Structure 1
């Protein structure tokens, strides 16, 4: 499978046809003066800035690959990507989306990373009738968190989300936690937000059914400064696995307090999500960051290639490190995969300037991406395509933390590269 995908990626870089679009066909461009406009909204600054840190580099690669335009079904178009920073503010995210729709005239919107960005952008697009593709948040928090009801027909026509969900977290966590002997007591700290409420309602019961004892002190508010009550409960209950879905500043505050109060000495697996995804999150913890377990929605070792740029994961990450001097992050491939899927959506219709046609085509879209295949026709609900979550761990290697793949239950094409270590 890897060889096939690699050959396809090489052809993409050469401007060969992928589905029904081709890169850099200047002869066809002479026949059309139209521009495809793609909005790209992500959190580049603020508390969620880790998610947007690499987006500038990703967009640079995408713009370079698309600089000579694309040919879609025999017609040439130039491509313009209009990126905006939400500053980690949901209200600003919605405002930016409306501006891109009303003033920017975008044909397609891309929203990347966390409910605080994706949900308000998706809502703005739904109201305006603009197709929107999003990734990097649990699909349940996107779908049910915006008003859809279990067992009922989808209320969304224009928004489509791909990536992991609670099922992927469950499979990855059970696979990961079985690698180390524990008492199977899991202390959970889920925030009172879209992510936390989704995982509390769906993930915790599944973990209990799988034989884990869940110790839950209840939802906490983002920005909480004192976690003594939660720490005392986890310590008294003897939990040996800790799982949380906070924003990075909240986890840093909690885990430092946990260390001061001795909780960290009894924990064998520290399994974090939404935080601990990027090197900066772990480095900020100093010695407390070693052996923090995480989960990757993308990794440089994923065996896939970006159709939009022709880049492999290793090429993307090596290029980023050479250009910036910073360690690669999993967001590189996630953001680029959204552009891959966006280009596939535009190429799935006769006229990519027709928003209604794009929205009508998306439920049946099957696309390749640097994060792997994306298939909206086989998702759990009409507007969603499944994606993997891979068990990982941050392991100190000299002056940096290596991001090691420790299990691959949700995508066995991804190679396991290391062994999970007990936290203490």
Structure 2
């Protein structure tokens, strides 16, 4: 009967414990905040009670697969949202694809999302959808930053020997071809195993090539070790651009004081996909980016993290799909709705009808740099070439 209450469930796979737990805090905050705001869903004259069910991935691929099975079978989730983990996120998405559960994910480049799920970044899926940026977008933003130093640069590549490094080097989908096409010279001394023990041979190659810039996707600890060794053998890089872990404040991902000191001195530059300065508002309740960052700080006592906007947007997308699907309790109908989704969120417009594949919606990137503030690392927006709507808050400062 029209108007009768029916229940739908949004499932959440989150790294509540394990090595990814610090990176999963924004998703946990979004769950706590939005559970109260998503109690009711209106769809075509009917009202649905909304339940959010959370399962811990334990920061492990098998944990993510088990979490999805529980959400699909025990909780009867109509849609699953997830984020974080180069191996964990693909495992959750694959489990959703196998079980026929619509899934929305975010937090790492779309090429890695596709490649980790069968070796083809352009592969399409029926049930699983992702929003993020590309390795090519990271390369373009980093090249914008390098060029602020003055023209074309010789750049040393500190890339691991795992999936991340393989994709950065990929001749078609990677970081390298975009940077080279911009006229920059890349020196790649080969991959290293994480965690790293010595960068001596890598630094020798970079020194021989005359690289004054280093680009990387290293962990905070590995990057700090490289910088420590570079100061000893010389010369230290004028600029370091680093994605992945360095999109977070280094004080958040490690407690080691020596790491903090090295990275603070290097003034590491990184990509910016969300900040309190971004001009977007939530489609759920009109919350602005500054409002969201302030609420996070007031509740947790911690500074905002870039994934905070992404975590909030996951629920905006899930709500939009459930509110506009012909039947929010029908998983195939929800999946078909996701494929046609274009919606405004706190991270901007997400449009699955225009992505590089039908399963991808893109987010523009800006360039940022970590500066040491009174309360720890502070991310300054220093280049908005790719996202002109985002205001700059400072200038790029070389380490020397």
Instruction: Report the TM-score when normalising by structure 1.
Output: 0.86
Q: CA deviation at 1:375?
A: 0.3
**Where does residue 201 of structure 2 map in the other structure?**
229
Other structure's SS at 1:391 match: strand
Instruction: Answer yes or no: is the 8 Å Cα contact 2:271–2:367 preserved in 1.
Output: yes
CA distance in 2, matches of 1:126, 1:232: 46
CA distance in 2, matches of 1:234, 1:45: 38
**Where does residue 423 of structure 1 map in the other structure?**
399
Task: For 1:262-341, list aligned pairs within 5 A.
Answer: 262-263=233-234, 265-279=235-249, 280-281=252-253, 284=256, 285-290=259-264, 291-341=267-317
Matched, 1:179 2:148: yes
Q: CA deviation at 1:141?
A: 0.7
Instruction: Answer yes or no: is the 8 Å Cα contact 1:248–1:274 preserved in 2.
Output: no
| Counterpart among 162, 166, 180 of residue 135 in structure 2 | 166
CA distance in 2, matches of 1:43, 1:246: 20
Instruction: Answer yes or no: is the 8 Å Cα contact 1:348–1:365 preserved in 2.
Output: no
**Where does residue 375 of structure 1 map in the other structure?**
351
Other structure's SS at 2:175 match: helix
Q: CA deviation at 1:183?
A: 6.2
CA distance in 1, matches of 2:199, 2:55: 35
Instruction: Answer yes or no: is the 8 Å Cα contact 1:47–1:249 preserved in 2.
Output: no
Instruction: String of CA shifts for 1:125-146, please: whole Å, max 9, x gaps.
Output: 1111111111111000111331
Instruction: Answer yes or no: is the 8 Å Cα contact 2:147–2:153 preserved in 1.
Output: no
CA distance in 1, matches of 2:302, 2:124: 42
**Where does residue 163 of structure 2 map in the other structure?**
194
Q: CA deviation at 1:297?
A: 1.7
**Where does residue 45 of structure 2 map in the other structure?**
74
Q: CA deviation at 1:155?
A: 4.1
Other structure's SS at 1:64 match: helix
| CA root-mean-square deviation | 2.1
Instruction: String of CA shifts for 1:65-104, please: whole Å, max 9, x gaps.
Output: 113x121221111112222332322222222222222222
Asked which structure has the greater RCO (Cα within 8 Å, sep 6+), the reply is 1
**Where does residue 29 of structure 2 map in the other structure?**
57
Matched, 1:86 2:60: no
- The verdict on how the C-alpha distance between 1:150 and 1:112 changes in structure 2, with shifts beyond 3 A counting, is closer
CA distance in 1, matches of 2:366, 2:255: 21
**Where does residue 191 of structure 2 map in the other structure?**
219
Instruction: Answer yes or no: is the 8 Å Cα contact 1:305–1:312 preserved in 2.
Output: yes
CA distance in 1, matches of 2:47, 2:102: 21
| Counterpart among 214, 233, 239 of residue 242 in structure 1 | 214
Q: CA deviation at 1:283?
A: 7.7
CA distance in 2, matches of 1:145, 1:403: 30
- The verdict on how the C-alpha distance between 1:252 and 1:35 changes in structure 2, with shifts beyond 3 A counting, is farther
Q: CA deviation at 1:394?
A: 0.7
| Larger CA deviation: 190-199 vs 166-175 | 190-199
Task: For 1:22-41, list aligned pairs within 5 A.
Answer: 31-32=4-5, 34-41=6-13
CA distance in 2, matches of 1:62, 1:333: 13
Instruction: Answer yes or no: is the 8 Å Cα contact 2:368–2:379 preserved in 1.
Output: yes
Other structure's SS at 1:83 match: strand
CA distance in 2, matches of 1:46, 1:231: 32
- The verdict on how the C-alpha distance between 1:185 and 1:167 changes in structure 2, with shifts beyond 3 A counting, is same
Q: CA deviation at 1:371?
A: 0.3
Matched, 1:348 2:324: yes
| Larger CA deviation: 49-58 vs 116-125 | 49-58
CA distance in 1, matches of 2:63, 2:91: 9
CA distance in 1, matches of 2:360, 2:137: 14
State how many pairs are aligned: 390
Instruction: Answer yes or no: is the 8 Å Cα contact 1:61–1:309 preserved in 2.
Output: no
| Larger CA deviation: 36-45 vs 212-221 | 36-45
Instruction: Answer yes or no: is the 8 Å Cα contact 1:50–1:278 preserved in 2.
Output: no
CA distance in 2, matches of 1:401, 1:109: 33
| Larger CA deviation: 320-329 vs 373-382 | 320-329
- The verdict on how the C-alpha distance between 1:386 and 1:353 changes in structure 2, with shifts beyond 3 A counting, is same
**Where does residue 398 of structure 1 map in the other structure?**
374
Other structure's SS at 1:109 match: strand
